[in-house]
Structure 1
Amino acid sequence: MSALQSYGWNEHFMHHFETNTSQDLEAARVLSIQGFIHLLITGTGNVEAQLSGALINSREPEAYPKVGDWVLVKRYDNEGIIIDTLPRINWLSRKAPGTQSKRQVLAANIDSAFIVQGLDRDYNLMRLQRYLQQVVQCNIQPVVILNKADLVTNPETYRQAVQELGYNCPVIFTSAVNHTQQEEWTNQYLLPRHTYILLGSSGVGKSTLLNSLLGYRLQEEGATSTANNKGKHTTTARHLILLPNGSMVIDTPGMREFGVTEEGGSEGIHHPLIDELASTCRFGDCTHQHEPGCAVIAAVRNGTLPEPVHRSYLKLLREQYHFQASEADRRRDEKQFTKMAKQVFRHRKDSKY
């Protein structure tokens, strides 16, 4: 097996590589990004590379290469220039932290997302629904990992609560002190040549889990802040790491914000339980908030749809509408600025100054 195949090279990327490249370009996968430097894995080993000026000037920042992307690189001795990115199978994004409605792509070409919550203090169903919703919208299979399961007396109640959210995804218990439990789920869910991403807040135990999977300490394990009982960041950037069993994990810094975006051209938030009920609403454009004959509201009232799930759904829906409106405004402003800049350039050229 070639080095590229070990890192997930498949027919999708081979097709685009063979039909769109010249002979002096190599295929490579982005393992990490530190400032302007991209660490890549090629067929002959690792190489450091930077983005070409043409790529920077022709793309939105969200389309720049991210960890997990496959790129085309031109080699110059021991360094390289990234010329282009091969089409992604998918990507995981979130609303960029802060007030501006911009999309931040976290990683690309992911088979499954492990959403980690700690049962000691981090467990929060509504936050979990936010992660699940965005991961599903990005066309990625979610897997929920409930970590530190040894610290609660009845973990099954937590599994049941997650399943009631309606996303029909695996829910795994694990603990850093229970190696048998870890081996069971990793043997089932970590497949060779597949790419996974670890998501969750600071302090939920992502770095501890990764160190256990690797068999050695890659990340220093962070303590919990005594001031606010929140975890401290131990991972400061995203890295794609090849595990001993041949699978790959992208580790991510703890995220205190995980805002939803619009992905795949879909309109609205598509929740499995609510979508199923919506088909029997009286009105086809029902917003599931106040309309007569709304099957979703009826399900909340009779207890078949958990009220917190419905409330969180409406909140995420409002966030997405706000993101869509703000992004449209931003793109319109950028288009107007570009048009104005071209007019100024043309005027200066005509005036010869």
Structure 2
Amino acid sequence: MSEPSESLLAHIGWRGELPKPPADQPGLRVARVIAQHRAGYELHDGDHAFNAQPAPRFIKPGIDPCSRPAVGDFVMVTSAKPPMIERILPRRSELARAAAGERHLRQLIATNIDTVMIISGLDGDFNPSRIERYLMLVEGSGAKAVVVLTKADTSDAVESTQQELRKRVSASTAIHAINAKSADSIGVLSEYFGPGTSTVLVGSSGVGKSTLTNTLLGETRQATNAVRETDSRGRHTTTYRALIQLPSGGCLIDTPGMREIKLTGEETLDGDQFGDIEELAQTCRFGDCSHLSEPACAVRAALEDGRLDNARWHNYLKLRDELSVAADSLETQLRRKTENRVLTKSLSRRSDEKFERR
């Protein structure tokens, strides 16, 4: 296989100059991870897709999951049969959440993306608090967040719902209401899918991610299912993350529906989503104000005169507490890793000294 050119790789989101193959492995070439399966990875070099296996070091037990190849990664791969992923090129953005369980390990959702579209249905799925949680994950990822409300054709309260959400979302975050089945309706999203761009769709099952993908493609490629009438939730029609090339020249990563959106512990509250609340709290008379009964509390004053939405404030408190617990868990985990590494080195040194004395 020949080395792909920059112009070919641009079709799958590559930017800039191609890196030179390392001197000790001159046959490596660049490709992008477009899917991950139990049996390995699927890559694309801008011309065609092919399967590849990860180098053995990527599958060692105990390795940080974020150190492994992920959908969206640009990698350097051998020309062997089957090809082997040898290196992960620097990521310009990473969208991650905490994996299920109690260890708060980061789980990559997608990498090298420009836009994260948070998809929510204008039905029983609509949940501003969940959208705020997604926005916290996006902040710091290096990507831009956009909220997309689907099923606008089934709702009589599109405008009022958008106004309600605007009270909870930063002014810098765009909100679009669409009918994902209509090519005309999704036209407002075209600016995010231009040539060379990469966008990932996130949201619950049944919100219309696969339907939107099919409409963007102009064909039915992703399976779709109806949602339950009781809670507007659907089954996982998309079962794994996959990067898809769009006719517009952009790349789209469709993801399975997420039931749990855990914070990793690395998020902050002083960004676009909640930065105004943090600044407001700084203007209270007392530095340790609990915002409950202290005099001259700026937060309570804002709640009373309507400048601060009450539901947003309570979700902020919930996320603040959760973030504190996650950060403590992450710090403990990192400290244990460091202690184990030091202990391993110490035991190794003692072993070497013991054998040298013999």
Matched, 1:171 2:175: yes
More off after superposition, 287-296 vs 46-55: 287-296
TM-score by length of 1: 0.88
Matched, 1:5 2:10: yes
3-state SS of 1:75 partner? coil
Give the conservation status (yes or no) of the 8 Å contact 1:269–1:313. no
Match of 1:186?
Answer: 189
Match of 1:334?
Answer: 337
More off after superposition, 322-331 vs 130-139: 130-139
Match of 1:129?
Answer: 132
Distance 1:334 1:204 in 2: 39
Amino acid at match of 1:70: F
- Cα deviation, residue 294, structure 1: 3.9
Match of 1:70?
Answer: 74
Match of 2:90?
Answer: 87
More off after superposition, 102-111 vs 269-278: 269-278
- Cα deviation, residue 339, structure 1: 3.8
Distance 1:185 1:143 in 2: 12
Distance 2:139 2:341 in 1: 35
Match of 1:116?
Answer: 119
Aligned pairs for 1:14-25 within 5 A: 14=17, 17-18=19-20, 23-25=26-28
Distance 2:154 2:47 in 1: 46
Amino acid at match of 1:83: E
TM-score by length of 2: 0.87
Match of 2:3?
Answer: none
Amino acid at match of 1:112: T
Match of 2:246?
Answer: 243
Amino acid at match of 1:73: V
Give the conservation status (yes or no) of the 8 Å contact 2:21–2:28. no
Q: CA RMSD in A?
A: 2.7
Match of 2:236?
Answer: 233
- Cα deviation, residue 317, structure 1: 1.1
3-state SS of 1:132 partner? helix
More off after superposition, 269-278 vs 313-322: 269-278
Aligned pairs for 1:249-260 within 5 A: 249-260=252-263
Identity rate, percent: 36
Aligned pairs for 1:202-213 within 5 A: 202-213=205-216
Give the conservation status (yes or no) of the 8 Å contact 1:269–1:316. no
Give the conservation status (yes or no) of the 8 Å contact 2:124–2:231. no
* CA distance 1:152–1:45, shift in 2 (3 Å): closer
* CA distance 1:346–1:93, shift in 2 (3 Å): same
Distance 2:250 2:301 in 1: 45
- Cα deviation, residue 166, structure 1: 3.5
Distance 1:253 1:205 in 2: 11
* CA distance 1:111–1:349, shift in 2 (3 Å): same
3-state SS of 2:83 partner? strand
Q: Which consecutive residues of structure 2, in runs of 5 or more, have no partner in the other structure?
A: 1-5
Give the conservation status (yes or no) of the 8 Å contact 2:31–2:43. yes
Distance 2:207 2:326 in 1: 28
Give the conservation status (yes or no) of the 8 Å contact 2:123–2:232. no
Match of 1:312?
Answer: 315
3-state SS of 2:79 partner? strand
Give the conservation status (yes or no) of the 8 Å contact 2:35–2:71. yes
Distance 1:275 1:110 in 2: 28
Distance 2:42 2:127 in 1: 35
* CA distance 1:338–1:189, shift in 2 (3 Å): closer
3-state SS of 2:104 partner? coil
Matched, 1:105 2:108: yes
3-state SS of 2:169 partner? coil
- Cα deviation, residue 222, structure 1: 1.7
Deviations along 1:279-330, one digit per CA (max 9) or x if unpaired, are 5344567676776544233211221100111111111111111111111212
Amino acid at match of 1:42: D
Distance 2:294 2:56 in 1: 53
Amino acid at match of 2:308: L
